[in-house]
C-alpha cells in the first residue's frame, strides 16, 4: 500500500474579525482551538484551503 503524503498545519491566529468564509475554511480544515496542530492529506484541495487562510495558519515540516 502506498503511503499518502500529509502536511501538518498549525493555527496561529484567531478567525475573529475576519470574513465568515475564512472562519468556515478553518472549521473545514478541522481546527477547533488556537495553537492546535492537525495533520491532513497533502492534496490540491487542502493546499487551496490553507492558501485561503495563510495569514491565520502555519505549515509545519
At 4 the pLDDT is 86
Amino acid 1: pLDDT: 59
13 inside domain: yes
Residues 57 and 9 sit within 8 Å (Cβ to Cβ): yes
pLDDT score for 14: 96
CATH code (residue 43): 3.30.1390.20
Domain count, the chain: 1
pTM listed for this prediction: 0.89
Residue 1 lies in a domain: no
Q: For the chain, 61 residues long, give each residue's pLDDT as a single digit of tens.
A: 567 899 999 999 999 999 999 999 999 999 999 999 999 999 999 999 999 999 999 999 7
The C-alpha angle 36, 14, 32, rounded to 5 degrees, equals 40
Question: Could you list the residue range(s) of the whole structural domain that residue 42 is in?
Answer: 6-60
Amino acid at each position: 500500500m502506498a503511503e499518502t503524503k500529509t502536511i501538518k498545519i498549525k493555527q496561529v491566529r484567531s478567525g475573529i474579525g475576519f470574513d465568515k468564509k475564512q472562519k468556515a475554511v478553518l472549521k473545514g480544515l478541522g481546527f477547533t482551538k488556537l495553537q492546535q496542530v492537525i495533520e491532513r492529506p497533502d492534496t490540491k484541495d487542502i493546499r487551496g484551503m490553507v492558501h485561503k487562510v495563510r495569514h491565520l495558519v502555519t505549515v509545519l515540516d
